[in-house]
Amino acid sequence: MFNKQLLPAILILCVTTAGAQDILTNVMGRKITSLNGKWHYIVDQYETGFYDYRFKERNPSDPEAYWNNPVQKDRSDRKEHGYNDKYSIKVPGDWNSQDAKFVYYEGTLWYQRTFDYQKQQKDNHLFIYFGAVNYKADVYLNGKKLGAHKGGFTPFQFEIPDSILQPKANFLVVKADNKRYADEVPTLNTDWWNYGGITRDVLLVEEPPVFIKAYTIQLHPPAAGEAFDANNMIIEGSVQLSQSTTQKVTVTIPEIQWHYDAVPDGNTVHFSFPVKNLQLWSPEKPKLYAVTVATGTEQIKDNIGFRTIQVIGQKIVLNGKPVFLRGISIHEEMAPEIRRAVNSADAKKLLGWAKELHCNMLRLAHYPHNEYMTRMADSLGLLVWSEIPVYWTIQFSNPEVLVKAKQQLADMIARDKNRASIIIWSVGNETPLSEPRLKFMSDLAQTAKRTDSTRLISAALEVHYNKDMNTIDDQLGNYTDIVAVNEYLGWYGGLPDNCRTAQWKTVFNKPLFFSETGAGAKGGFHADSLTRFSEEYQAWYFKETIAMMKRMPSNYTGLSPWLLVDFRSPRRNNPVYQEGWNRKGLIDQSGKKKKAFYVLRDYYEAMEKKAF
């Protein structure tokens, strides 16, 4: 290997206290113990286990609190709750798909399991990590509350104190509550299913006394407006430790024979070093390098790709070359089983369909998806738009709601900042115009850019539609790197042939991207092209939309139609064609491809061969 003298580097030492770093980077690369599997549950619609009959929060030692497990000493003792195998549920997984009685349930479910655990070293740290719980989680261990978290699609963890941990039969309880509220993110009104429960992995993570808390390793981006120079590439990043230490921090990338180590003056090491002959990550060649971050007591391995993404004029530029985004929007749902996607096999199936479409890009709507999705996108070479659920009519004038949105934004970025596939952070979708909304959304956009300047910032903007010209002048576009809009000409207004006379313009000199477009069709229903909800109507819609896209202004840089697969939504109540499903998928709920799938596939295949 080269050492630091043979391959020069610039070392900067400082202390970082960013709140987003509270999430451990790359949990899967650490010493973990899975708590996935069968858990017990109690349905608690009235939250009896949390509140007493005066609706006061129960005392921590109250035997009737569901986080406790009182022992019934004799038959005269009163015990009004308990956990047993009769009421069991799979984790990870939503509760809606596991029992018919839960399909529409919104409320509280108490999850419980026991586990044995002996730390490898007495002064090590032990964390319990949740990939996500929808929406609010209260976590208790052996009758003691570890903490609470809000946000249904972002990870969180709590440290387990030695005073609580037992070597045998630790009694773990999670109160999961998926009720919707006006002052949450998302708000009351969405267009997707409110799957409840512990929907992602639960892991125990053991760390040494001084541990690697977070790290960032990326290719240095070109300055704004400057062209990418393949002869002047620099990999840069940082490693943040849990506390100040004299331990040596080491970062290695064996394939390019690079090794660096330093003793931090504080708790964070920043590094920057030039590289040559680096194979850049791209959809055509999604190269990932094995990277190791280590101290004297810990070693974490990751697979990281290196690429640049920028806007130059009216083009989106990947690794110095303009790229046309052949996208598709996806919900984190497995339609045939009517459940949340939960593992790498689910991610492989969904993204495999996207590859069949000749996609090079995904819009992961409308919330941060499971980490398996972004890691699979890395390996398959699919560019990603990742989004927080600031959706429709949240309370833009409420400062507490902004704090919640910022936390979800920070957590999304903290988890996935090393994923080469992610090129766009989106701060919201279809938010109605108003001054409070502009202030709220622009604050989010600027926060995202300050947090991560290496990616593009976007949101699905609003459009002024009229007969002669559809104008994109939403002032939020002043704060985003691209102009992205959702359009449904021929579905929510008129017929698909209205696209033939439609004209588009934007007041922003930025790339134009259509973040949604689509029409509903029930798989297997065939009729003439004028019949709504037929596969023929949907195919006609896409033919007319694609023809319109070919006439777009020169700043047109791609689209991500709505959407890959049909998904559940309580808003969709046509008793014949919808029955609680949004039917705009190109693939139906059984996994069968509709006619429109092939229309879009042919367009994308042609665009793939065309120099952009």
Closest CA to 560 of 481, 458, 480: 458
**Three-state SS for 59?**
coil
3-state secondary structure 92-155: CCCCCCCCHHHCCCCCEEEEEEEECCCCCCCCCEEEEEECCEECEEEEEECCEEEEEEECCCCC
| CATH class name, domain 311-609 | alpha beta
pLDDT at 295: 96
pLDDT at 267: 93
Confidence band of 225 (pLDDT split at 50, 70, 90) = confident
* pLDDT, tens digit (0-9, with 9 covering 90-100), for 351-362: 999 999 999 999
* pLDDT, tens digit (0-9, with 9 covering 90-100), for 449-472: 999 999 999 999 999 988 889 999
Is the per-residue pLDDT at 21 higher than 70? no
**Three-state SS for 187?**
coil
Say which CATH architecture domain 37-91+93-199 belongs to: Sandwich (2.60)
Q: What's the pTM?
A: 0.94
Which run of H or E residues covers position 288?
none
Domain boundaries, the chain: 10-23+210-306, 37-91+93-199, 311-609
Confidence band of 611 (pLDDT split at 50, 70, 90) = low
* pLDDT, tens digit (0-9, with 9 covering 90-100), for 108-146: 999 999 999 999 999 999 999 999 999 999 999 999 999
Is the per-residue pLDDT at 25 higher than 50? yes
* pLDDT, tens digit (0-9, with 9 covering 90-100), for 548-590: 999 999 999 999 999 999 999 999 999 999 999 999 999 999 9
Strands 470-472 and 504-506: parallel
Relative orientation angle of helices 399-416 and 435-451, to the nearest 10 degrees: 30
Pick the CATH number of 10-23+210-306 from 3.40.1390.30, 2.40.37.10, 2.60.40.10, 2.40.50.140: 2.60.40.10
Amino acid at 467: K
Strands 144-150 and 339-340: unpaired
Alpha carbon distance 264, 247 (integer Å): 8
**Three-state SS for 284?**
coil
Alpha carbon distance 102, 89 (integer Å): 11
Q: Do domains 37-91+93-199 and 311-609 have the same CATH topology?
A: no
Average pLDDT, stretch 311-327?
97
Average pLDDT, stretch 489-508?
95
The residue whose two tokens read 């990947």 is 318
Give 469-472's long-range contacts (Cβ < 8 A, gap of 24+). Answer: 469/503, 469/504, 469/505, 470/502, 470/503, 470/504, 470/505, 471/505, 471/506, 471/507, 472/504, 472/505, 472/506, 472/507, 472/508, 472/512
